[in-house]
Amino acid sequence: MRKYFMQLVTLVVFCVAAIVCCMDNNIAGAGDGFVDLFEKKLSAQGYVEEPVVIVHSFSGRTATVGESIASLFGGRMFRYSDGIGKFPNGHGGVDQDEISSYLNQNTAKTLYLGFPIWNEDVSEPAKEFIATLDLNGKTVVPFYTYLHSVNQNDLDAYMKHLEDRGAIVKPALAFRFSFSCKKNFIRKATRTEILKRQDLWEETENINVSCKPDSSAKGMTLCEVPEGDVWVYHPDSKGDGLAEPVLVRKTVAAFAINKTEVTLKQYSRCVEDGACPEIEMDGSFCGNLIDDNELLSVPCVSSVEAEAFCNWAGLRLPNIDEWTRAARGQSTNNYTWGDSFPADGTTLNMGESPGTGFKEYSLAKADENFKSDGFPGLAPSCSFSKGNSPFGLCDMHGNLAELVSIEEAENNHYALVGGSWMDVDPDTFSMNGSFGVGENFGFYLSGFRCVK
Ligand SMILES: Cc1cc2nc3c(=O)[nH]c(=O)nc-3n(C[C@H](O)[C@H](O)[C@H](O)COP(=O)(O)O)c2cc1C
């Protein structure tokens, strides 16, 4: 008791000097695109397990963080009584026995354990209470708030101690707040930190890249995609594009898929074998685009011709679930590489400004500050390794938009996915950028790959 009181006195001395404003450069606010995205992801059914949030909080800041975490994940929060004196504004909360009995009946595997920093370490009341919990096999996400300084060695030792008790301990979420921080600021800061911590709301998958030539597929290089889950947009929820699309989780059986979009050279072999119709290139924009370069992806192939090609190679067109899984594994990333779109010309072949691209096919404004990716039209396969998918596929975004089969939606059996060499809008390249096309459709923006 006396010890806590002395710590409090020390703190007050610190704080008189520390009238620090609540400022942070990077706080996600309501309406922020990332927050919306996060909520969309979490709203997908069964997406994350509801955690239990257990907090020690003396003056309420750690409790506000805990409340935000619980509300983001839909879990329940407990703030336990620390039994210290009768301080105004409450440090109290529910009886510790109540939490223990809740935990005994609840199967939650993830515990968010929150505490304020006292004496540069985990607050004593938190240590005392956490000592009573059964942590064996639980995933523990520690979080703490502090004012000025933390002893990292002490904290590390404490986390190690939790691991020794059988917990899987994730890196802690740390929040530095001044005394003047309002609740709203604390809530926003919590969201921002959680958003950065993808490991807290996305399961990770161990992926071995395995792409090799397959003699049973005319020697084309196929990449293995093992059975696993994929998040796809529910077709009904895409509708007019105004309603928030809904993600649903599906399991996809193992398959192998072309590492690259099918090239003109590969398609020509099928034509020579008499199994694929010739594509009229001369004098058309298709011809201009490909300019006899056999190594480029073949454009202007309709779904019927693409099916014929895949068939010839002992393969078939991918469906949209397979394509999406090949592009982003079981994550909900917007792109093969993550969620943000760096238009810096390093991850995909996309639209050019009129100055560097095909003038009449440029969607970018003439005065737009646009970094060229170096290719006015198509780029040779695998020119952008930074954009490769987790399974090693090249050019899933940009180059040619790819034909995939879909469950019939508004009479369409196919969709184009991934965006093309001419597109400039990040949404078009994103996983939510697919659009349905009719039978026998193919043009200078579309290509394809096949699966086995
Ligand atoms: C007894 C006591 C000791 C504290 N010691 C430290 C400290 O060593 N370092 C620090 O940065 N903040 C220290 N603080 C400040 C708190 O960690 C900080 O204000 C925290 O956000 C309070 O969380 P709460 O509102 O949930 O109680 C101390 C606060 C108290 C009450």
pLDDT band at 221 (very low <50, low <70, confident <90, very high): very high
Is residue 318 within 8 A of residue 257, CB to CB? The reply is yes
Average pLDDT taken over every residue of the chain: 85
pLDDT score at 56:
93
Report the 3 state secondary structure along 289-334. HHCCCCCCECCCCCHHHHHHHHHHCCCECCEHHHHHHHHHCCCCCC
Nearest CA to ligand 1 atom 18: 146
CB distance 432 to ligand 1 below 6 Å: no
CB distance 118 to ligand 1 below 6 Å: yes
pLDDT above 70 covers what percent of the chain? 82
Q: Express each pLDDT in 166-198 by its tens digit.
A: 999 999 999 999 988 999 999 989 988 887 787
CB distance 391 to ligand 1 below 6 Å: no
CB distance 120 to ligand 1 below 6 Å: yes
- Intrachain domains 26-33+45-200 and 211-447 with the same fold: no
Nearest CA to ligand 1 atom 16: 146
Q: Express each pLDDT in 299-347 by its tens digit.
A: 999 999 999 999 999 999 999 999 999 999 988 788 999 878 887 888 9
Q: How far is residue 349's CA from residue 20's CA, in Å, rounded to a whole number?
A: 46
Query: Cα(65) to centroid of ligand 1, in Å?
Result: 14
Tell me if residue 340 falls in helix, strand or coil: coil
CB distance 114 to ligand 1 below 6 Å: no
Q: What are the DSSP E strand ranges found in 102-210? A: 110-118, 121-122, 139-146, 168-169, 173-176
Say yes or no to pLDDT of 48 above 90. no
Strands 401-409 and 446-447: parallel
The torsion defined by the Cα of 383, 387, 392 and 393, in degrees rounded to 10, comes to -70
Q: Express each pLDDT in 407-427 by its tens digit.
A: 866 677 899 999 999 999 999
pLDDT band at 206 (very low <50, low <70, confident <90, very high): confident
Nearest CA to ligand 1 atom 14: 118
Nearest CA to ligand 1 atom 31: 8
Query: Cα(146) to centroid of ligand 1, in Å?
Result: 5
Q: How far is residue 409's CA from residue 393's CA, in Å, rounded to a whole number?
A: 27
What are the CB-based long-range contacts (under 8 Å, 24+) for 181-189?
Answer: 181/22, 181/61, 182/22, 183/64, 185/22, 185/24, 185/27, 186/61, 186/64, 186/65, 186/68, 187/64, 187/67, 187/68, 188/27, 188/28, 188/29, 188/30, 189/24, 189/27, 189/65
Q: Is 340 exposed, middle or buried (0-12, 13-18, 19+ CB in 10 A)?
A: exposed
For the full predicted model, state whether its pTM sits above 0.75.
Answer: no
CB distance 116 to ligand 1 below 6 Å: yes
pLDDT score at 40:
57
Best mutation site among 121, 129, 147 for ligand 1 pocket (most ligand atoms within 8 Å of CB): 147
pLDDT band at 31 (very low <50, low <70, confident <90, very high): very low
Nearest atom, ligand 1, residue 176 CA: 21
> Higher pLDDT residue, 204 or 46?
204
Nearest atom, ligand 1, residue 115 CA: 26
Query: Cα(71) to centroid of ligand 1, in Å?
Result: 24
Q: Express each pLDDT in 123-176 by its tens digit.
A: 999 999 999 999 998 999 999 999 999 999 999 999 999 999 999 999 999 999
CB distance 22 to ligand 1 below 6 Å: no
Q: How far is residue 93's CA from residue 58's CA, in Å, rounded to a whole number?
A: 10
Is residue 230 within 8 A of residue 278, CB to CB? The reply is no
CB distance 197 to ligand 1 below 6 Å: no
pLDDT band at 37 (very low <50, low <70, confident <90, very high): low
Q: At what angle do helices 33-43 and 183-196 cross, to 10 degrees?
A: 70
Please give the CATH topology (third level) of the domain spanning 26-33+45-200: Rossmann fold (3.40.50)
Q: How far is residue 218's CA from residue 421's CA, in Å, rounded to a whole number?
A: 27
Say yes or no to pLDDT of 93 above 80. no
Tell me if residue 438 falls in helix, strand or coil: coil
> Higher pLDDT residue, 246 or 272?
272
Q: How far is residue 212's CA from residue 280's CA, in Å, rounded to a whole number?
A: 31
Query: Cα(408) to centroid of ligand 1, in Å?
Result: 59
- The arrangement of strands across the sheet holding 255-258 comes to 211-213, 221-225, 255-258
Nearest atom, ligand 1, residue 146 CA: 17
Contacts of 186 (CB under 8 A, 6+ apart): 61, 64, 65, 68, 175, 177
Per domain, the residue ranges of the chain are 26-33+45-200, 211-447
Best mutation site among 1, 20, 58 for ligand 1 pocket (most ligand atoms within 8 Å of CB): 58
Is residue 216 within 8 A of residue 240, CB to CB? The reply is no
Give Rg (Cα) of the chain.
Answer: 27
Architecture of the domain delimited by 211-447: Alpha-Beta Complex (3.90)
Q: Is 103 exposed, middle or buried (0-12, 13-18, 19+ CB in 10 A)?
A: middle
CB distance 372 to ligand 1 below 6 Å: no
Nearest CA to ligand 1 atom 3: 118
Q: How far is residue 179's CA from residue 19's CA, in Å, rounded to a whole number?
A: 7
What residue type is 99 in one-letter code? I
pLDDT band at 32 (very low <50, low <70, confident <90, very high): very low
Best mutation site among 3, 11, 20, 81 for ligand 1 pocket (most ligand atoms within 8 Å of CB): 11
Q: How far is residue 301's CA from residue 124's CA, in Å, rounded to a whole number?
A: 69
The torsion defined by the Cα of 66, 71, 75 and 78, in degrees rounded to 10, comes to 40
CB distance 60 to ligand 1 below 6 Å: yes
pLDDT band at 41 (very low <50, low <70, confident <90, very high): low
